[in-house]
Structure formats: structure tokens, C-alpha cells
Amino acid sequence: MKIELIDQNWLTKLEPLLSESYGEKISIQDEIEYFEDTNPQNWFLAINSENYPIGFIRCFPFLKDTNFQVELYAKNDYNIEKYLINNFNENIKNKTMRFCLNSTQNSLINYLKEIGYTDKIEEFKIYIYSKKSDINENKFIRFGDINTKEILEIIDILNEFKKFSELEIINLIKENKIVIYEKNNIIVGVSLNNIHEDFVEIVEISVKNEFRRKVFGKELIEGIILKYPNKKIKLKVNKENIAAIKLYEKVGFEEKIENCQIWLSKIYK
């Protein structure tokens, strides 16, 4: 087994492995376009003796340029995962890295703790909306527009979560993954959504402070449902967020039990 730096040529050969990691067929062209836009310097893959990719490790910016979310996949093969992490660590300077792992990945969790990662357990409830929609269309809910000044306002609203770079947000708008609620020419709220083959995942929802605790959050969620009429809608909510849970249930979401996630992070200096 050896490690190679991922370049565009290798990326095209990673399509089967990437699709396995996401649980659905991915668009390799989307991956290539992101690679060309960002030119990442620390994406690596593990290659077996037959020169075939068997695992990869990549990182994506969140919060600010020195903070990265790590994506690791090697079919739950601990030896390959550890091998990738060790090589990855040698190439990190002045950055904060974080992994999001399932609570069942004990070996990997323990290893990351051994090399200096700290853990924070967050328990989430998963909700699914799969009913036939009887929601009326709301003309004030639409996809974000990359060609107007509203892009600055969308960036400002999503910065509340401190997870996304400006480049990421611009690309998300281009991909119609941003839904906005506009009232009297004012953006009331914004939703960020990941679009999969069979479902749409609501990643973040933000309603401006002055419009909260009214009907706008509910109407924004209903608008998201209408924007993706042929897909199930999935979202994750902290189990302590009772107000949000009540809102989702009122719209028609139903709870699905999944394992909690463990976030591990380390500052490299």
C-alpha cells in the first residue's frame, strides 16, 4: 500500500470509491469543478499493490480558512484509515482539523484521541418528510440568485453558523442548493440544502432575528419541500432543540432514530 496526492487524473478514478462513501452515485464532474476552483493541497488516497484506490482523505474549509472538515473513507478498514491519517498529519501546518464520526467507530475514535484530538458528543434526532405535499406554493420562496447583490446578504446570514467560506456559499448558490424567503424585497430567511439522488438534506436554516418566532420559519420549510417535489426531505436537529422539533413535526416531519455523532478536533501549530 502507498499514498498518493490526489490530482485531477486520480480524481476521475476515485468515482467508485466516492460513490460508495456517499451511498449513492456521485457526479464526478462536480468533484472536478470543485477541485479546479479550490486547488486543494492536502487530498490523499491509498493505493493497493495493483495501483487501485482503496481509500481517501480530503478536507473542506469551514468557519474560516484555517479550519477544515476532514472526510475519510476506506470501507471501515482501520489499518488503511490509520495509514491515511498519519500521512495526512505530516502535511498539516497552522490549521484546525475536525472529523465527524459515528459513535460505532470506536477504534478510529480512540486512535484520534491518542494523537491529540478532543471529542465532543452531540446527539441528534433525524427527521424525514416523505408525505405527499398539500402545501400551497409561496411565490416569495425561491432559489438564490448569483447575479444580484443579494449574494452578500446570503453570505451574511449563513455566516451565523460560521461553517462556510464565501467561495463555498457562492458555489452552493450556483448549484441551486440555497433557498431564500423574501418578503417586501427583504430576505427573511435562508436554507442550505444538500441534494442527493433520493433525498434532499436540509443542512442549515436561518431566519433573521426580527422575523423569528413568527410563521416565516414554517413557511420557509414548506417552500423547501415544494422546491424538491419528487424527493424525501431529511434534516438533523439537536435533541435539546425542542422548539425546532415541534416546528418540524407540525409541518409533517417524522422522527428516524440514528446513532449519535462524535466530533473530534485538533489544532495543528
* DSSP sequence for 68-104: EEEEEESTT-HHHHHHHHHHHHTT--SEEEEEEEETT
Tell me if 80 sits within 8 A of 54, measured CB to CB. yes
Q: Give residue 223's pLDDT.
A: 86
Phi, then psi, of 117 in degrees rounded to 5: -80, 145
CATH match of 2-123+260-268 with 3.40.630.30: yes
Q: Give residue 192's pLDDT.
A: 87
- Which is nearest to 18 in space by CA: 47, 50, 57, 69? 57
- Kindly list the domain boundaries of the chain, sorted by start residue: 2-123+260-268, 132-251
All three cell numbers of 68, joined, read 477544515
Q: Bridge partners of 256?
A: 126
Sign of the torsion formed by the C-alpha atoms of 74, 76, 77 and 79 = positive
Lookup result for grid cell 484509515: 81
Block means of pLDDT (10 residues each) for the chain, length 269 residues?
88 89 81 82 89 92 74 91 92 86 88 92 81 70 78 77 72 86 84 84 84 81 85 86 88 80 87
Same fold, 2-123+260-268 and 132-251: yes
Alpha helix ranges (H) inside 26-177 = 28-38, 78-89, 106-114, 150-158, 166-174
Q: Give residue 212's pLDDT.
A: 77
Distance (Å, whole) CA 117 – CA 98: 8
Q: Give residue 247's pLDDT.
A: 87
Class of domain 132-251: alpha beta
Predicted TM-score of the model (pTM)? 0.68
The set of long-range contacts for 204-209, using a CB threshold of 8 Å and a minimum separation of 24, is: 204/158, 204/161, 204/163, 206/157, 206/158, 206/160, 206/161, 207/181, 208/157
